[in-house]
Amino acid sequence: MQIYFPIAEISLNIFLVLGMGGGVGFLSGLFGVGGGFLMTPLLIFIGVPPAVAVATEANQIVAASVSGVIAHWRRSNVDLKMGLVLVVGGVFGSTVGSFLFKFLREMGQIDLVISLSFVLFLGVVGSLMLVESVRLILRSRKGGYRKKAHQHYWAHGLPFKMRFHKSKLYISVIPPILVGFFVGLLAAIMGVGGGFIMIPAMIYLLGMPTSVVVGTSLFQIIFVTANVTFLHSINTQTVDVVLAVLLLAGAVIGAQFGARVSGMLRGEQLRALLGIIVLAVCAKLIFDLVFEPSDLFSIGRAITK
Amino acid sequence: MNRPAAFLLIIALSAGSASQAIAQSLVADMSESSISITSNFTGKDILLFGAVDVPSDIVVIVQGPREKMVVRRKGRVSGIWMNRQSVTFPGVPAYYAVASNRPLDEIASQTVREQYRMGSTFLDFAVDASTPHLAGEELFEFREAIFRNKRRDKLYFETDNSVQFRERLFRTSIVFPTRAPEGDYTVTTYLLRDGMVIAEQLNPLQIRKAGFERKVFDLANQRPALYGIIAVLIALASGWLAAVAFRRS
């Protein structure tokens, strides 16, 4: 059954869209990421214009994150104070990103920037996750692994310190604001929640306990992707609400199952699996960038403004 | 509209214009004069039919609204393919189809075909003033890219045996793919005899988003802030609803 999407201006099979939403939603619930890092490239692969894919996916992530955060909230896995600090940075970052997105689109380079951003971040983060979790898995098998109670990072020397009870941290607000800002920037340009960057940053940079990072990142993602949806609607009219609703119908259900399954798996195994998926998407994008396209020329409606 | 009804209509049309019989050697009409893009839109075929006084040649040219198009050429930069040059053409027909009863070069001379723009070879696109100076050959490549891409999207096509005659009656079908953009289209039917155009008729055609799709599109473009807020609220509500629904189960 084909359905016409009024903003994307293409017709797609409704079950394909629902299925993609469900599959990616499952992974997003499982790993506590928005799922955008998979969905945005997938939407582009099935013919959705990249700018529409990014903006629409941001809209869909709002829904996936809300239902995800509720599940984590019930288990008391959200650091609200840290979340709000991250939101402050995120709102600034996504606003800057949205205007950058508009500019790049008019320059005709938005597709390239989207692809390159994915390759760069997915490549680096995927490799780090894989290496780190494999190391942990191997070490825990030997049984000689002991985590330090408290580690000192460079971030601890900065001013404007704040106490985060839930995360058992007393750190400067500058690093979380910067992390939030950067993730907001990525949300606007790539149509991702940014969990794949934020979660490692929270663990390795801010030193937050693993138990609260997923819930807290989802909390921040809601506000940032809502801001992206709003700004892209105003700046580029690229949010396809019909497409977003179908994707989220599949995704919210998938995310619920994912969140349940995540409790059954161990953290390092989960991270190794996510690392592999991230690297696979990255490889596909590299392939598309490096191999000569069948037609070097492309046409598009000029953006007049 | 089925075929007998279509033919009856032609007869009615011919009778109605009997007073202009001398000038009116061609009558043509379409099964529909507007296409609505609704949620189940997957393209549309429109039947064009008509009558001529003496069997001769028919060429139908359908043109879509003119759009400002950017053609971009990719080049390799340190191993990566990226858009390098671009040329803007301000008046490219979004859609261009030619249907005829036999090959165009058999119907009319190049001069006549050029005059009436019969065939995409004779479509001429002016280049935007902002375009960097390019050699004629290079510019030609950009122009060709429009035709190649439009043909791939089934927005440009020429079929030289798609007009069928049954004595004095003719018919052809015009295919509009999903990607056919909304706007005002013109369907021009030319009657040719001995290579000369002796009559022509213009039928307008509209393609419009309609119903729910129209409302969404208009809201997004006319009230973008409201649209953005609604999009966010829908997402918030759906996420919350899903979480509640799953807690109960």
Q: B-contacting residues of A 118-137, CB under 8 Å?
A: none
Interface-testing mutation among A78, A260, A296, with chain B (most B C-beta atoms within 10 A): A296
pTM (predicted TM-score): 0.81
Mutate: best of B134, B234, B244, partner A, most A CBs <10 A:
B234
Residue of B nearest to A304 (CA): B68
Q: What is the pLDDT of residue B207?
A: 94
Among A234, A253, A290, beta carbon nearest to B79 = A290
Residue B122, pLDDT > 80, answer yes
Q: Do A297 and B71 touch (CB under 8 A)?
A: yes
Report the alpha-carbon distance of residue A217 to residue A35 in Å, rounded.
13
For chain B, say whether A2 makes contact (Cβ under 8 Å): yes
Distance of CA A252 to the CA centre of its chain: 15
Q: How many CB atoms lie within 10 A of CB B132?
A: 7
Whether residue B177 lies within 8 A of chain A, CB to CB, comes out as no
According to DSSP H, which parts of chain B are helical?
3-16, 104-107, 110-115, 136-152, 211-222, 224-248
Kindly list the residues from chain A whose CB atom is less than 8 angstroms away from the CB atom of residue B80. 112, 116, 289-290
Tally the C-alpha atoms within 13 A of residue A99's C-alpha that lie toward its C-beta.
Answer: 5
User: What is the CB neighbour count within 10 angstroms for residue B183?
Assistant: 16
Grade residue B236 by pLDDT with cuts at 50, 70 and 90.
Answer: very high
The top-scoring range by mean pLDDT among A208-212, B125-129, B228-232 is: B228-232
Chain B residues touching A293 at Cβ < 8 A: 74, 81
Structure tokens at A49: 């214009």
C-alpha distances (whole Å) from B14 to each of B29, B61, B168 are: 11, 22, 12
Q: Where residue B16 falls among pLDDT bands split at 50, 70, 90?
A: very low
Residues of B in contact with A60 (CB under 8 A): 235
Contact: B149, A295; criterion CB under 8 Å: yes
Of the candidates A2, A229, A245, the beta carbon closest to that of B232 is on A229
Worst-scoring range by mean pLDDT, B126-130, B147-151, B175-179? B126-130
Contacts of A245 in chain B (CB under 8 A): 234, 238
Give which of A18, A233, A303 to mutate to test B binding, by max B Cβ within 10 Å.
A233
Give the pLDDT means over successive 10-residue stretches in chain A (305 positions). Answer: 89 92 83 77 87 93 86 86 94 95 89 89 83 81 52 65 81 89 94 84 86 90 95 94 91 78 75 83 89 88 70
Please name the amino acid found at residue A255: A
